[in-house]
């Protein structure tokens, strides 16, 4: 018994010493998207803060392609030593596994560290669209089934799934027109060729401020820091329970020592509570958020199940 207790004490001490000495060299943060995308920007801002607080470089490594699955696979197959992290996000981890086969299991191949941002979406139309508010918008589309079209950044994209959920809850029937990216999808809403879409606040904010688009509400159940004057659609459209968007976080390869994951999570939580970073996120259309590893694990499980349900209900296929 004494031998076992001594071994346990040694293991606890060794784990604590490992966490306290971490990191002793640079840490690679794989971003499975191109530079300038929301996940990339958010991950860079947090990486810069971690570099300052932990005293070692946190180097961004962009590995885009295949909807984020290339970089996510690279992170999943990296050594679980705390020196490779993934800028995780809803697309490759919550949505793609429900649409197609991917070379990783989101819940088995990663050790969640902390959420860092939520990505709210805004319901937008051309300013001349004949509705003054969300309830009038829904009433008009209900009265004209399949007469209006909505755009998205692509079949199976987060925006597509969010509009499908909105349409279902609002009892709307409309035609889907997929584009290759959010920019062209919004362009045709701006010029009036497409009636509406739900796209990220990041992508729509400047257009709403300039008057090129008007918005009826945001997709989360609470107001967005980036659009504080815009009500949630759950309230504005009388859709109780409508509360959905994208998410961004940090994850490590499964098997990364728990003490290292816990230390990273604490540092991320601390840095995200800083007013400067919160204000910076708001200007980008992102809502800062933080979590423990356990909270992020539970969150990812819920998100994967929810997006899977939307995909099945709308019979969305990418092949």
Question: For the segment 152-185, what is each residue's pLDDT rounded down to a tens digit?
Answer: 999 999 999 999 999 999 999 999 999 998 999 9
Whether residue 19 has pLDDT greater than 70: no
The domains of the chain are located at 25-118+246-314, 121-236
The count of C-alpha atoms lying within 13 angstroms of the C-alpha of 114, restricted to the half-sphere facing its C-beta, is 26
Q: Residue 29: which of 50, 5, 8, 54 has the closest Cα?
A: 50
Per-residue pLDDT tens digits for 260-273: 999 999 999 999 99
Q: Give the pLDDT of residue 8.
A: 46
Per-residue pLDDT tens digits for 211-231: 999 999 999 999 999 899 999
Common-topology check for domains 25-118+246-314 and 121-236: yes
Q: Domain 25-118+246-314, CATH 3.40.190.150 — does that match?
A: yes
Q: Is the dihedral of CA 250, 251, 256, 261 positive or negative?
A: positive
Query: Which has the minimum average pLDDT: 13-27, 114-128, 201-215, 263-277?
Result: 13-27
Instruction: Say if CB 169 and CB 161 are below 8 A apart.
Output: no
pTM for this model (two decimals): 0.89
Reported confidence tier of residue 106, pLDDT bands at 50, 70, 90: very high
121-236 sits in which CATH class? Answer: alpha beta
d(CA 164, CA 281): 27
What is the share, in percent, of the chain residues with pLDDT greater than 90?
A: 90
Whether residue 9 has pLDDT greater than 50: no
């Amino acid at each position: 018994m004494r031998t076992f207790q001594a071994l346990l004490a040694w293991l606890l001490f060794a784990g604590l010493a490992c966490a306290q000495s971490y990191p002793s060299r640079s840490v690679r943060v794989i971003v499975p998207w191109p530079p300038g995308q929301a996940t990339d920007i958010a991950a860079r801002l947090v990486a810069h803060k971690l570099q300052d607080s932990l005293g070692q470089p946190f180097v961004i490594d962009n590995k885009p392609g295949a909807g984020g699955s290339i970089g996510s696979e690279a992170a999943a197959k990296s050594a679980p030593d705390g020196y490779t992290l993934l800028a995780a996000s809803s697309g490759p981890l919550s949505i793609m596994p429900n649409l197609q086969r991917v070379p990783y299991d989101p819940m088995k191949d990663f050790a969640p560290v902390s959420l860092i941002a939520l990505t709210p979406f805004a319901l937008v139309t051309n300013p001349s669209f004949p509705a003054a508010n969300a309830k009038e918008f829904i009433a008009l589309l209900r009265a004209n089934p399949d007469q209006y079209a909505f755009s998205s950044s692509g079949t199976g994209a987060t925006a597509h799934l969010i509009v499908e959920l909105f349409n279902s809850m609002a009892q709307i029937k409309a035609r889907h027109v997929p584009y290759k990216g959010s920019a062209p999808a919004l362009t045709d809403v701006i010029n009036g060729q497409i009636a509406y879409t739900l796209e990220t606040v990041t992508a729509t904010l400047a257009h709403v401020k300039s008057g090129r688009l008007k918005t009826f509400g945001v997709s989360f159940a609470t107001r967005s820091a980036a659009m504080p004057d815009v009500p949630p659609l759950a309230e504005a459209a009388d859709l109780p329970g409508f509360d959905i968007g994208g998410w961004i976080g940090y994850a490590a390869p499964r098997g990364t020592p728990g003490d290292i994951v816990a230390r990273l999570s604490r540092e991320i939580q601390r840095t995200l509570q800083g007013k400067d970073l919160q204000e910076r996120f708001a200007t980008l259309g992102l809502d800062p958020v933080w979590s423990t590893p356990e909270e992020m694990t539970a969150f990812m499980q819920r998100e994967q199940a929810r997006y899977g349900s939307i995909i099945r209900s709308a019979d969305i296929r990418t092949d």
